[in-house]
Structure 1
Amino acid sequence: MSKILELREKRAKAWDAAKQFLDAKRGADGMLSEEDTATYDKMEQDVMNLGKEIERLERQAAIDAELSKATSTPLTGKPGAKMGKDETEKTGRASDEYKGSFWNAMRVKAPMPSVLNALQEGTDSEGGYLVPDEFERTLVEALEEENVFRTLAHVIKTSSGDRKIPVVASKGTASWVDEEGAYTESDDAFSQVSIGAYKLGTMIKVSEELLADSVFDLEAYISKEFARRIGAREEESFFNGDGKGKPLGILAAKDGAEVGVTAASATAITADEVIDLFYSLKAPYRKNAVWVLNDATVKQIRKLKDSTGQYLWQPSLVAGTPDTILGRPVKTSAFMPTAAAGAKTIAFGDFKYYWIADRQGRTFKKLSELYAANGQVGFMGTQRVDGKLILPEAIKVLQMKAGTSSGSAS
């Protein structure tokens, strides 16, 4: 942890040096010369590289802490005493029998009858098998690593059918009442948001030789690949999905996040616009709000100051805490648009009001014959998921100025 703290302090000093250079080299018009711009870009890149190394070390520390946990529990019962089934054996998809049978079925060409019997617990309607509980948790954790949106949103599990979520559309108000006067009726109005499930899948091919090798960790490989592919596609939809065959993203024109600020430029963002976006969000949402933008936009924000001369972006000096803009955490995603005409470039709000619904469990199906001619075995992974912003006012976005159209291309 001391190494992480050392790098955080080093990054803070590098950022201070970059700010001082920027202040010293800005001309009367607030611009840098071409040579100074190249120098500043190099200094800023060093700050970004240090930030990425800090993130890597923090992930490594978290993994080390997890692996160092005890793998068994101490014996506390009396010698010779028989322990009950509930204390020693898990049932259903969490049982050791199901887990062993599942991975045996994934590896061997024709599972034994005993293996198939054990897997009846988790057979899905399309001939695949629901993954064991422990493996599903591994997949979910891996998805959260690959998918920043899942760490911010509210995730629920549904079994079947659409999930109806009641939402207060408008709230009643109080009024002054004269002595012995009549009370004014003022009811809350309710609406519903429906969350269903869209199918998202991927297929992985593994050679028969590798599959037969006991050293090959099939569980870890599938978990990593599933997370990389599914996580990226999910996050893209949670931001930009149109609700047609996929979740409805926060940047959708209808039922997405509300536009808090429209920038005066199609490509540049000012400090005042960032501050206006901050205050466009109602105060109750601001206390849990985060900024989400891509790395290119962060690069623009780093150069901005408020009216007191303080930079809006501040690096974190404490391990495990994110950088901030105006005191609120910053998260980056490659799926947030860059600054361009009409683009919604910055999102700020409480992302817990975006609900992600995972339908049942994740399913794997083994395809033994499809790629047999090439000496390969296919694995098809599927999950059903939906996502919607329950309260559009909980997240505000900064939208760049729209491009102008004329007789020529805009």
Structure 2
Amino acid sequence: MNVNELREKRTKLWEGAKAYLETHRNEKGTLNAEDDAAYNRMMEDMDALGKEIKRMEKQEALDKELNLAISTPLTAKPQTGAMAEKKGRASDGYRDAMLVALRSQFKQVRDVLQEGVDTDGGYLVPEEYDSRLIDILNEENIMRNLGHKITTSGDHKINIAATKPAAAWIDEGEALTFGEATFSQTLLDAHKLHVAIKVTEELLYDNAFNLESYIITEFGKALANAEEDAFLNGDGTGKPLGLFAETGGGTLADTLTTGIKSDDMISLIYALKRPYRKDASFIMNDQTLIALRKLKDTNGAYIWQPSYQAGEPDRILGYAIHTSAYAPKDAIAFGDYSYYNIGDRGTRSMSVLRELFAGNGMIGYVAKERVDGKLILPEAVQILKLGA
């Protein structure tokens, strides 16, 4: 059966389902249990056909793409047509000039780099490079995937409703009562984070070595690790304020004096207010997960549920688990981490340190960024402190 036949079958099934619904409603306009079950089965068949149609459409597209790649060999020079000219830090000239500057220890600095001079010395990373740094930060840092990212040009103020108006019953003709809605503010600042590495002159001048990828990858991993540690444990002094911070972090749900039990995990889930539970998940250390994997419910079933689908996280009691080497071993966080705001101030910059390591025949490179992070609603994340 081809995709067109499946579409026709799905259309007929939909028309039949609509007709069935109209002819089986009772005087109240609803369906009885038997008719409702029959209608739901029709909808399940509709969904199944829809998934199969999408699967076949994707298969046809892949077949077409692969056949095209085989049947139409490349005979012309790529990108010979007219293309929109890239300007500024996105231009090819800026990217090439940055690579030349890196290899020449910033002796061959072209005019095209002047627009990227950083206030602290050094040059702003070209847009292509900066995008790849962001990719590495997102991949290595769980909080950049879970939190809410903001790009700021200055101190970023976030308004928070401190009190909300409440409704009240009144009799006819009775005077209205007025409540006051007040607001507070939290501020996202910009803390400087840097990473420095040394490379030998041999690597620097070896054209076969992909210097730019090496530097960007190493810088990205180092920045991501430092960020994740701060986003989880930072005290807000010279660094972001972390989720697990004693003051300004998540709300303390409970402190256990004994080993953790299944009931403690259930209590943690329901310590979080219902609106936040919809998108909530756990954050914990790998060592903590070892203890949780051994817990069972009253029926003897493990509360830990492994993922059977690639890319999907494991779950506990239906909620996703995210592990981090930087999460404390004596605490578990549960909440909606979209209320953790991450503020990136501008772009990242790179500079070279030549004289410092000249005696060792090495060149130093430094990447810098300014970033802040803060949980703007502490009630959106609940923290369970663990006992021995």
Shorter-chain TM range is: 0.7 to 0.9
- Cα distance between partner residues in 1 of 2:180 and 2:211: 57
Which runs of structure 2 are paired with 1:104-183 in the superposition (5 Å)? 104-109=100-105, 111-112=107-108, 115-159=109-153, 161-183=154-176
Name the structure 1 match of 2:378.
392
RMSD: 1.9
- Contact 1:104–1:111 (CA under 8 A) maintained in structure 2: no
- Cα distance between partner residues in 2 of 1:304 and 1:110: 58
- Contact 1:316–1:322 (CA under 8 A) maintained in structure 2: yes
Name the structure 2 match of 1:219.
212
How far residue 198 of structure 1 moved from its aligned partner, in angstroms, is: 0.6
- Cα distance between partner residues in 1 of 2:371 and 2:208: 33
Residue of 382, 405, 408 corresponding to 2:368: 382
- Contact 1:204–1:380 (CA under 8 A) maintained in structure 2: yes
CA shift digits 1:22-47 (9 cap, x unpaired): xxxxxxxxxxxxxxxxxxxxxxxxxx
**Amino acid of the structure 2 residue aligned with 1:108:** S
**Amino acid of the structure 2 residue aligned with 1:391:** L
Name the structure 1 match of 2:15.
none
- Contact 2:282–2:332 (CA under 8 A) maintained in structure 1: yes
Which runs of structure 2 are paired with 1:164-313 in the superposition (5 Å)? 164-265=157-258, 268-313=259-304
**Amino acid of the structure 1 residue aligned with 2:165:** G
- Cα distance between partner residues in 1 of 2:219 and 2:383: 31
How far residue 110 of structure 1 moved from its aligned partner, in angstroms, is: 5.0
**Amino acid of the structure 2 residue aligned with 1:244:** T
Q: Structure 2: where are the runs of 5+ without partners?
A: 1-65, 70-79
- Cα distance between partner residues in 1 of 2:254 and 2:105: 59
- Cα distance between partner residues in 1 of 2:213 and 2:157: 36
Cα 1:317–1:215 shift into 2, 3 Å: same
Which runs of structure 2 are paired with 1:15-54 in the superposition (5 Å)? none
- Cα distance between partner residues in 2 of 1:286 and 1:231: 27
How far residue 307 of structure 1 moved from its aligned partner, in angstroms, is: 2.9
Name the structure 1 match of 2:311.
320
Question: Secondary structure of 1:175's partner?
Answer: coil
Question: Secondary structure of 1:245's partner?
Answer: coil
- Cα distance between partner residues in 1 of 2:327 and 2:84: 48
- Cα distance between partner residues in 2 of 1:178 and 1:111: 82
| Pairing 1:364–2:350 present | yes
How far residue 126 of structure 1 moved from its aligned partner, in angstroms, is: 1.1
Query: Scaled by the length of structure 2, what TM-score is found?
Result: 0.77
CA shift digits 1:52-92 (9 cap, x unpaired): xxxxxxxxxxxxxxxx9x9xxxxxxxxxx995xxx421111
Q: Structure 1: where are the runs of 5+ without partners?
A: 1-67, 71-80, 340-344, 404-410
- Cα distance between partner residues in 1 of 2:134 and 2:243: 22
- Cα distance between partner residues in 1 of 2:111 and 2:160: 44
**Amino acid of the structure 2 residue aligned with 1:122:** G
How far residue 171 of structure 1 moved from its aligned partner, in angstroms, is: 1.6
Structure 1 stretch displaced more, 181-190 or 247-256: 181-190
- Contact 2:351–2:365 (CA under 8 A) maintained in structure 1: yes
Q: Structure 1 segments of 4 or more deviating over 6 A? A: none
Residue of 57, 75, 93 corresponding to 1:97: 93
**Amino acid of the structure 1 residue aligned with 2:87:** T
How far residue 142 of structure 1 moved from its aligned partner, in angstroms, is: 0.7
Question: Secondary structure of 2:342's partner?
Answer: strand
Name the structure 2 match of 1:50.
none
How far residue 396 of structure 1 moved from its aligned partner, in angstroms, is: 0.3
- Cα distance between partner residues in 1 of 2:200 and 2:385: 48
- Cα distance between partner residues in 2 of 1:309 and 1:168: 44
- Cα distance between partner residues in 1 of 2:188 and 2:236: 11
Cα 1:140–1:308 shift into 2, 3 Å: same
Query: Scaled by the length of structure 1, what TM-score is found?
Result: 0.73
- Contact 2:140–2:224 (CA under 8 A) maintained in structure 1: yes
- Contact 1:261–1:280 (CA under 8 A) maintained in structure 2: no
CA shift digits 1:174-195 (9 cap, x unpaired): 1112112222212322100001
Name the structure 1 match of 2:72.
none
- Contact 1:139–1:227 (CA under 8 A) maintained in structure 2: yes
- Contact 2:105–2:352 (CA under 8 A) maintained in structure 1: no
- Contact 1:359–1:384 (CA under 8 A) maintained in structure 2: yes
Query: Between the two proteins, what is the percent identity of the paired residues?
Result: 48
Question: Secondary structure of 1:142's partner?
Answer: helix
Q: Which has the larger radius of gyration?
A: 2
Question: Secondary structure of 1:371's partner?
Answer: helix
Cα 1:232–1:82 shift into 2, 3 Å: closer
Cα 1:82–1:262 shift into 2, 3 Å: closer
Cα 1:82–1:375 shift into 2, 3 Å: closer
- Contact 2:251–2:382 (CA under 8 A) maintained in structure 1: yes
